[in-house]
Amino acid sequence: MTVPLRLVFLGADAIAVPLLEWLATDGAGLAQVTGVFTQPDRPVGRGQKIVPNAVKAWALARGLPVFQPEKLAPEARAQLASLAADVGLVMAYGHILRDEFMSTPRLGMLNLHTSLLPKYRGASPIQAAVASGDRETGVTLMRIVRKLDAGPLAGVERVPIAPVDTAADVEMKLAAACVPLLGRALPCLAAGSLLFAGQDDAAATYCRKLTKEDGALDFTAPAAVLAARINGLFPWPGCRVELHGQPIKLGLADVCHLLDDKCSAAGGVVGADAHGLLVATGGGVLRLRKLQRPGGRMLLAPEFLRGFPMQPGVILPSRPMPPLVTRR
């Protein structure tokens, strides 16, 4: 009988919880989580309460050791060594790992990155894929190196992106995709037969940490570009438009192919249908399907418009849209 690998998990985001649940149940014969490294507790929400992140909460519920260093100093390496791990698994951790820290587990450290590397190296790959209008993304398993998301690849699990998927929807798909990917990789890792292939650096693109300013919309862009950006930046930072002097957050959009916007200026409201508020753009009609007033709930457009009617001819102001993906 194969002895499960001793695995230490390093991460802080809820996207990892389905994988951790699998490791504690159906995947327990492949790997045993011996401890968790995660980010220090931070204030969250409007009340700025200090609460444990999802990974810490999962570990505490199972009585596992939890370490929350602000920096990975020598003390953190000693804590890692105390877990006697065979391998470290990293996903959305947020710390830069030094060579001496990465080499502490017997088999080194692997990373789960939520893109089809070398595409979208960096901090916001899920949002970048959706906002770019991609119809497919995935989770890639790689060995960690010092260069950003540039390590050799050991496997990938692909997932589709539907036209009305938001970043939140795609994150759920990617969370589930981690399970079959690790299910294939862990037995090979334990047997010493896991193969790695180098990335094509010339094909790499990069995505940065997002800010609220990225939620700006330029209605002279085509409707398909705007819909993808709205969906890709939901729930955070969220795209916003100004309606009657109020910043309105947008939660979902698509393209209305049944209308011609040639008679309306870019950003002009041209009406509404059963599914959304219709806005002229630089190419096609954008349909805003979910909207939220300040302090209110995110509502489907028909319900939103009952309390916040919009007459045709109103112009939504445009703002420059910062690029989300670069070649460098």
Same domain, 23 and 166: yes
Domain count, the chain: 2
Q: Any idea what the CATH number is for the domain that residue 190 is in?
A: 3.40.50.170
Confidence grade of residue 20 (pLDDT, cut at 50, 70, 90): very high
Say whether pLDDT at 204 is over 90. Answer: yes
- Segments of 15-166 assigned E as strands: 31-37, 42-44, 49-51, 66-67, 87-91, 109-113, 121-122, 136-143, 153-160
Predicted pLDDT at 259:
67
Burial (CB count within 10 angstroms: exposed 0-12, middle 13-18, buried 19+), residue 69: middle
Angle formed by the axes of helices 17-24 and 54-61, nearest 10° = 20
DSSP string for residues in 16-37: GHHHHHHHHTTTTTTEEEEEEE
What CATH number did the domain enclosing 309 receive?
Answer: 3.10.25.10
Q: In the chain, pLDDT over 90 holds for what percent of residues?
A: 88
pLDDT digits (tens, 9 = 90+) for 223-281: 999 999 999 999 999 999 998 889 999 999 999 987 666 667 999 999 999 999 999 99
**DSSP annotation of 287:** E
pLDDT tens, position by position, 84-109: 999 999 999 988 899 999 999 999 99
Does residue 49 carry a pLDDT above 90? Answer: no
- Predicted model pTM: 0.95
In this structure, the answer to whether residues 166 and 38 fall within a common structural domain is: yes
Q: Are 254 and 226 contacting, i.e. CB atoms less than 8 angstroms apart?
A: no
| The predicted structure's pLDDT at residue 94 | 86
Note whether 13 and 54 are within 8 A (CB).
yes
Q: What is the pLDDT of residues 113-128, one digit of tens each?
A: 999 999 999 999 999 9
The backbone region for 120, taken as left when phi is positive above 0, alpha when psi lies in -120 to 50, beta otherwise, is left
Residues 177 and 217 in one domain: no
- Note down the domain range covering 321: 212-326
Q: What percent of the chain has pLDDT over 70?
A: 98
Residues 122 and 245 in one domain: no
Question: Residue 222: which residues within 8 A CB-CB, separation 6 or more?
Answer: 281, 282, 283, 284
Compute the average pLDDT of residues 24-29: 97
Paired tokens of 146: 């010092």
The pLDDT value recorded for residue 264 is 79
